[in-house]
Amino acid sequence: MMSKEGFTHLRDYIYEKTGIYFTENKTYLLESRLSNRLNELNLSTYEDYYLYLKFGGEQSKKELNNLFEVVTTNETSFFRNPPQLDAFKVIVQKNYLNGTPTVNPIKIWSAACSTGEEPYTLAIILLELMETTKKNIPFIIYATDISQKVLETAKRGVFGPYSIRNMDGNILKRYFSEDNGSFKLSENVKRYVRFEFMNLMDTEAYKKYRGMDFIFCRNVLIYFDEKAKKKVIDLMYESLKPGGFLTIGHAESLHNISRAFKPLMFPGSIAYQRGK
Ligand SMILES: C[S@@+](CC[C@H](N)C(=O)[O-])C[C@H]1O[C@@H](n2cnc3c(N)ncnc32)[C@H](O)[C@@H]1O
């Protein structure tokens, strides 16, 4: 059983490191997610685990990655929430294809990319757009996450049926090869995406992600409290170039979080634009 003290210490520690906030009614969830860590480290109480993380020196730095893995939720899939992706396509067409030809690559950041389905989807959309418009669209996608494990899977680029369940059959055929029930993504898509570790709570780390045309930060802020959400959104504002676009999760809102962005309405979705 997790003591009240153990819960409070671990909850505050996890929050400080990741922005993820476990409310008291999630005690059981946290307990079950961490129990394997205790077993593996031969620790008998959750308080011991907290002390190990806090004062364990080099060892605890390594343990931090295991902690990130167990406290995060990595649910994702290709072509998740189509209305947001349609809006992305419309913005690219209007702002980058119909205007003066793009010289610099469009810089896109998929922050909290999990196993890669989101950034790869964006790459496929742009490749399809190039095909239909017969125009070249130079672009680069940065894809980051706090979990090393999901980043490894993302880089491999091999997916199960669950990940591709919403994908159009023709797209699947064009960009994947099937092997024994697994779907291997083509190198021609993979080469556009650069995967890197990045913790959204690490203010310094944002310096690497500047001048973005688009940021996708979907389905991660729901796990943060208001203070952490505000911090991330303020930093992302700075990471966008003037006139750049932010997309957050379909069920998420910037209400009470930021007034800095201009909301743009699309059928079934909203994109947030930084002032020009
Ligand atoms: C539910 S997935 C969302 C994946 C994708 N954006 C989507 O909408 O399908 C949330 C991801 O956020 C990551 N995450 C959680 N806290 C984070 C943090 N502080 N910094 C970076 N990534 C974080 C998790 O590891 C997880 O892969």
Q: What is the pLDDT along the chain (276 residues), one digit of tens a residue?
A: 788 899 999 999 999 999 999 999 999 999 999 999 999 999 999 999 999 999 988 888 899 999 999 999 999 999 999 999 999 999 999 998 886 666 789 999 999 999 999 999 999 999 999 999 999 999 999 999 999 999 999 999 999 999 999 999 999 999 999 999 999 999 999 999 999 999 999 999 999 999 999 999 999 999 999 999 999 999 999 999 999 999 999 999 999 999 999 999 999 999 999 998
Question: Can you give the pLDDT at residue 101?
Answer: 66
C-alpha 173/C-alpha 169 separation (Å) is: 6
The ligand 1 atom at the shortest distance from the C-alpha of residue 19 is: 19
The alpha carbons of the chain give a radius of gyration, in whole angstroms, of 20
CATH architecture group of domain 4-71: Orthogonal Bundle (1.10)
Q: Mutate which of 122, 220, 232, 269 to test ligand 1's pocket (most atoms within 8 Å of Cβ)?
A: 220
* Amino acid 2: pLDDT: 85
Residue 102: predicted pLDDT: 65
User: Which residues lie with the beta carbon below 6 Å from any ligand 1 atom?
Assistant: 18-20, 72-76, 80, 112-114, 118, 145-147, 150, 199-201, 218-220
Distance CA 146, CA 203 (A): 14
Given the CA of residue 77, which atom of ligand 1 is nearest to it?
9
H or E element that contains 144: strand 139-145
Q: What are the structure tokens assigned to 15, written together? A: 């929050």
Instruction: Return the pLDDT at 122.
Output: 98
Output the pLDDT for position 51.
95
How many other CB atoms are there within 10 angstroms of residue 96's CB atom?
19
Region class of 114: left (phi > 0), else alpha (psi between -120 and 50), else beta: left
Both tokens assigned to 108: 């896109």
The CATH architecture one would assign to domain 82-273 is 3-Layer(aba) Sandwich (3.40)
Is this model's pTM higher than 0.95 or not?
A: yes
Predicted local distance difference test score (pLDDT) of residue 59: 86
Give the residue extent of every domain in the chain.
4-71, 82-273
Q: Of all protein residues, whose CA lies closest to atom 19 belonging to ligand 1?
A: 18
Locate the ligand 1 atom nearest the alpha carbon of residue 110 and give its number. Answer: 6
Both tokens of residue 226?
A: 């208001």
The per-residue DSSP string of 29-57 comes to HHHHHHHHHHHHHT--SHHHHHHHHHH-H
